[in-house]
Amino acid sequence: MTLHRRDVVRQLLAERGNTLVVAGLGASAWDVAAAGDDDRNFYLWGAMGGAAMVGLGLALDNGRYGETGMQPSHTAGPTRLAAVASACGIDATYDIENDADLDGLMRALAAQTDLLFARVAIAPEELPRVLPERDGRRLKARFRAAISVGGERMAGG
Amino acid sequence: MHHLTDAPENADWPSHIHAVFIRAVPLTTEEEGVALAAGAWLGGDRSALLMQSSGVGNCVNMLAMTRTCRFPLLMLVTMRGEFEEFNPWQVPMGTSAQSVLQLAGLDVRRVDDAGSVEPAVEWAAEQAFGHDAAVAVLLSQRLIGRKEWVR
């Protein structure tokens, strides 16, 4: 059984609490936007490979390079992302394959205060784009305002 | 964000200043640092990105985010491929590092003498965090000298 990406993201964010979200460029950003816009969402429209460094945590895995034509990716072969994360020293890793696993991840997310990695197996499907705000400065400013870190400046003119 | 492992012993700062005031985050590749600096700023932290000139080329695409979102960025780059360089493989990136950074939209200041390092870095920090600028300070290979190889 394989999960559907939009459903997974909508479910994970249904009760988001204080969750801050950094979405990678392309389909990941459309998924997060489709679940409902929020000032605490930061969507990358570029900066490929940057999402995991700006934020940290969740990987939706369909074994494809979706933005360039759905060519098979390394995870369609032998690469197991949760094992990679574990080998990098992340203790809490999850391989999510079905709804029961997803429920477990929801509970783990609610209790987790440290770094967590979850890889969610999703169907390789092409969905209508849901485009969020694309003004980078506005995205940055509203995110910082939402977590109350905006406004501070060094002294001096 | 790298450790100050090569800080001179007679420097007038506490030897563990990086452990007290600064959290050092080792990177696997330099462009990760550009993204990490953006994430740190989103979360309300300031950061400095340290690398050697050979890492500048790795950052190019990620610097698009810095420019588009106007993230502050303070980059300190130790230069290779210039004064007394023994390794010809360091020369191409050392020669083009400044131009590459300027093409990516950074303000670049180059420092050739030790006395100018502090004011240059202070200026760069003020530009970055006071005015949301992306700034790189290039530290000349003259400051470091010839790399000694022990057989």
Tell me the per-residue pLDDT of B82-104, one tens digit each, with 9 for 90 and over: 988 888 999 999 999 999 999 99
Q: pLDDT exceeding 90 applies to what percent of chain B?
A: 72
- In angstroms, the Cα distances linking B116 to B8, B108, B120, B139, B146 are 17, 14, 6, 10, 20
More confident residue, A5 or B10: A5
Among A45, A53, A88, pick the best mutation site for testing chain B contact (most B Cβ within 10 A): A53
If one compares B134 and A114, the residue with the highest pLDDT of the two is B134
Tokens in use for B15? Answer: 């030897």
Closest Cβ opposite residue A47 in set B43, B65, B70: B65
Task: Of A41, A48, A67, A22, give the one whose Cα is nearest residue A142.
Answer: A41
Question: Mean of the pLDDT values across residues B109-122?
Answer: 96
CB contact (8 A) between residue A140 and residue B71: yes
Chain B residues closer than 8 Å to A153 by CB: 129-130
What is the C-alpha to C-alpha distance for residues B31 and B62, in angstroms, rounded to an integer?
6
Total beta-carbon pairs less than 8 A apart between chain A and chain B: 71
B76 strand-pairing partners: B50, B137
With CB atoms and an 8 Å threshold, state whether A54 touches B39: yes
| Other Cβ atoms within 10 Å of B44 Cβ, number | 12
Q: Which residue has the higher pLDDT, A61 or A101?
A: A101
What pLDDT was estimated at residue A93?
Answer: 93
pLDDT computed for residue A10 by the predictor: 95
Distance CA A34, CA A19 (A): 16
Interchain CB contact of B38 with A (< 8 Å): yes
Q: What is the pLDDT of residue A59?
A: 78
Tens digit of each residue's pLDDT (9 = 90 or more) over A26-54: 899 999 999 999 999 999 998 888 888 88
Is residue A21 scored above 70 in pLDDT?
yes
Minimal-distance CA residue of chain A relative to B60: A47
A63: left (phi over 0), alpha (psi -120 to 50) or beta: left
Chain A residues inside the 8 Å CB shell of B68: 45-46, 136-137
Q: What is the token pair recorded at B118?
A: 């502090």
Q: pLDDT tens, B36-92? A: 999 999 999 999 999 999 999 999 999 999 999 999 999 999 999 998 888 899 999
A23-37, A111-125, B10-24: range with highest mean pLDDT? A23-37
> Which of A136, A149, A156 is the closest to B130 by Cβ?
A156
